[in-house]
Amino acid sequence: MAIARFPVVVLDCPDPEALARFYGAMLEWEVSHPDGEWWAIRAEYGDSIAFQQVDGYRVPQWPGQEHPQQMHLDVVVDDLEVAEAAVIGLGARRHEHQPGTTFRVMLDPAGHPFCLCLS
């Protein structure tokens, strides 16, 4: 039997509500505010991501390591062009460095890298 259940990835950011709403809209997951500091999103099937405010937040500088990305999310999409346009509409931006052809490196509104990956 597992010691724990339902691991949650937590992203540091300057505005947890805004980032929760961005990822909630992109993934069509429910947005919630479970306590005074964190915001979260949750899928119907149980997966979740949380967001916490950090004073002095420093945007990751990928692919360099001066301010390492520390972690990133890969999300599966059916069409890179359609998905890129949709997340840009939500507030993301395309990273200038694109090292592959089967995925797109994007930056969320707080500057975290994430990848749109072909299924």
Domain boundaries along the sequence of the chain: 9-55+65-118
Mean pLDDT of 66-78: 85
Is pLDDT above 80 for 50? yes
The mean pLDDT value for 88-108 works out to 95
- Class of CATH domain 9-55+65-118: alpha beta
pTM: 0.81
pLDDT band at 49 (very low <50, low <70, confident <90, very high): very high
Report the DSSP beta bridge partners of residue 9: 49
Residue 35, judged by CB atoms within 10 A of its CB (0-12, 13-18, 19+), counts as exposed
Question: Is residue 87 classed as helix, strand or coil in its secondary structure?
Answer: helix
| pLDDT value at residue 2 | 67
Predicted pLDDT at 80: 94
CA angle 85, 102, 110 (to 5 degrees): 50
d(CA 37, CA 85): 31
Among 77, 89, 21, CA closest to 49: 21
The pLDDT assigned to 108 comes to: 95
Q: Is the pLDDT of residue 4 over 60?
A: no
**pLDDT of 89 higher than 90:** yes
